[in-house]
Amino acid sequence: MLDALVEAVTRYTDAQSGTSPYPTAIDGFIVMRTNQQKPPSHIIHKPALCLVVQGAKWTAFGDRRYHYRAGQALMVNVEMPASGQVSEASPDKPYLGIVIQLDLGILREVWEGLDTPLPVSDATGPGVFVTDFDGPLADCALRAVRLLDRPQAIPVLYPTIMREICYWLLSGPHGAEVARMTLAQNHTQRVINAIHMLRARYTDAIRVDELAAVAQLSPSAFHRHFKALTSMTPLQYQKRLRLLEARRLMVSGAVNVEDAAFQVGYESPSQFSREYARMFGAPPRRDTEALRRLEGSRAA
């Protein structure tokens, strides 16, 4: 099955213009290919199943790093800032990957339709795990890639494939984790509600007490559950959101360093520059100029 998936993804990417990642006619379905290792990238990861079809990659959330390779997938259950890097790729054997953003509405419908309810613990654990994908999940991915050649069939057939993906995730070895993270009304779900608030108001000076109230937890318990789920403190999570947005604004040319700092909630441009360099490895101006040159070379 994996060989067939390698063939299908290779054929699809061979036909594409531009550079990876390749958005597709399926909303939330992204195909990736690269012939070489690249510097680490920084993104805000949405809930998704990230398959490595060929090669290997690592992704880090806070102080926790996950390595996964061909035949494995990273399951992300919570929207979080992340960094990642392709660690195995070559012109002869390029890295191939697929990102499938999950439809939480379909996931909930499938969960509610299971004959045997999943045991859902109230304990809070990491919002990410690595799992093997084979058999039915690999078959779903293969049919989705092949469906890209028939865009007129996507609206009719892809929702069925998504239902299958949700079913196999929930009925697989990590089913209880998927249910606990994305569906159950427990500590984890209430912390996720607080994360949504922090995401929406990341430029504001939000106190932990406010977030804890949303999660219906004491500040100390909230801090503990938040760190267990994201591998970050609320302050670290907010800081990474701010720096990622500032980087996006500066790379687009919309603002200078000082304006970017103020727009994302910093009161001190010098503090912003220090924290930016610590996260991205270079001061804001040098980093964004390098990114613009890289984007220009890709477009050429």
Read off the pLDDT of residues 96-151 as tens digits, 9 standing for 90 and up: 999 999 988 898 889 888 887 666 666 667 889 999 998 999 999 999 999 999 99
Across the range 229-236, mean pLDDT stands at 93
User: Which pLDDT does position 185 carry in this prediction?
Assistant: 62
User: Which pLDDT does position 260 carry in this prediction?
Assistant: 94
User: Which pLDDT does position 112 carry in this prediction?
Assistant: 83
Read off the pLDDT of residues 153-175 as tens digits, 9 standing for 90 and up: 999 999 999 999 999 999 888 88
User: Which pLDDT does position 78 carry in this prediction?
Assistant: 87
Share of the chain above pLDDT 70, in %: 93
Please report which confidence band the pLDDT of residue 298 belongs to, taking 50, 70 and 90 as the band edges: low
User: Which pLDDT does position 123 carry in this prediction?
Assistant: 63
pTM flag (> 0.85) = yes
Read off the pLDDT of residues 175-223 as tens digits, 9 standing for 90 and up: 888 887 766 567 788 898 999 999 999 999 989 999 999 999 999 999 9
Map the chain to HEC letters.
CHHHHHHHHHHHHHCCCCCCCEECCCCCEEEEEECCCCCCEEEEECCEEEEEEECEEEEEECCEEEEEECCEEEEECCCEEEEEEEEECCCCCCEEEEEEECCHHHHHHHHHHCCCCCCCCCCCCCCEEEEECCCHHHHHHHHHHHHCCCHHHHHHHHHHHHHHHHHHHHHCCCHHHHHHHHCCCCHHHHHHHHHHHHHHCCCCCCCHHHHHHHHCCCHHHHHHHHHHHHCCCHHHHHHHHHHHHHHHHHHCCCCCHHHHHHHCCCCCHHHHHHHHHHHHCCCHHHHHHHHHHHHHHHHC
